[in-house]
Structure 1
Amino acid sequence: MPPKTAKKILSNKLEDLSAENFKKFRRELVDRKDGVKMNQVEDKDYMVVSEVMINVYTEKEALKVAEEIFREIRCKQDADELVEEAKKAGLCSAAEGSSEEEHFVDRHRTELIQRVTTVAPILDKLLKAKVIQNEAYDEIMGLRPSQNQMRMVYGSVQGAGRSAKDLFLQILKEQQPFLIDDLMKK
């Protein structure tokens, strides 16, 4: 039997949740503010929610996000089972596995610094999400050229942690889709 896909693992675990815990899961997913919108998951079933997560995040990232949310809503057994199934399928979802994996924005830091030329819309979204503060926003906007702006953005995102990097990647996917597509192929 072929190994399960990330989507199958995720939809199976979401299906196992009680109605109340599934509601909590959807609420936490939207509260993360890193890509999933309320209208994408509100009143939707487990299959739609898993599909949305796979589309918004990468497969591995969707499993990691699901694991984090399971733990946040106190569904530790579901989180542990998700990790175990992901390992059996050869997918990395556990925090201990993903911490060893270099984040996309770290792996492609140099190219992103060189190739992202329009920084203002990215900054606007980071400010709105409270990843950066007004002072940092003003300081970055005052820098020239765009490469210096991106270096400063990296410093701010780096200091805010992995979830900020995830949000930064989501913003880059929206603002620079062709560049991110190109880098994902490498």
Structure 2
Amino acid sequence: MAGKTVRIIIADSLEDLSPENLDKFRVRLRERKDDARIRRAHVEGKSPLELADLLVERFTRDRAVSVAVELLRAMGCSEVAKEL
């Protein structure tokens, strides 16, 4: 993964999800209880790269990966979470 940014690493992982699981990820991201509430309009129809941008923007580069892993595990996508 040398040379890849956090944004690209997260986007690559989200691209491995089925369309149904990507939709689940969007819903879980919106419903996450945290200080950074995310509106439906910010996630609906967004590509994996756009979702990665949103994660980095809202949760900082340092926390974006852990938030993505948390959501993936909660969805039962533990293999994708493990790779991330």
Aligned equivalents of 2:60 and 2:16: distance in 1? 22
Kindly state the Cα deviation for residue 53 of structure 1 after the two structures are TM-superposed.
0.8
Fraction of identical pairs, as percent: 38
Give the 5 Å matches for 1:12-91.
Answer: 12-34=12-34, 35=36, 36-82=38-84
Unaligned 5+ runs, structure 1: 83-186
Give the 5 Å matches for 1:1-186.
Answer: 2-34=2-34, 35=36, 36-82=38-84
SS in 1 for 2:80: helix
Aligned equivalents of 1:81 and 1:47: distance in 2? 17
1:58 maps to a residue whose letter is: T
Give TM-score, length-normalised by structure 1: 0.42
Larger radius of gyration: 1
Kindly state the Cα deviation for residue 2 of structure 1 after the two structures are TM-superposed.
4.0
Residues 8-40 of structure 1 show CA distances to partners (whole Å, capped at 9, x for unaligned) of: 100000111000000000000000143222111
- Aligned residue-pair number: 82
Aligned equivalents of 2:22 and 2:2: distance in 1? 28
Give TM-score, length-normalised by structure 2: 0.90
Aligned equivalents of 2:45 and 2:15: distance in 1? 14
Unaligned 5+ runs, structure 2: none
Higher relative contact order, structure no. (Cα contacts within 8 Å, ≥ 6 residues apart): 2
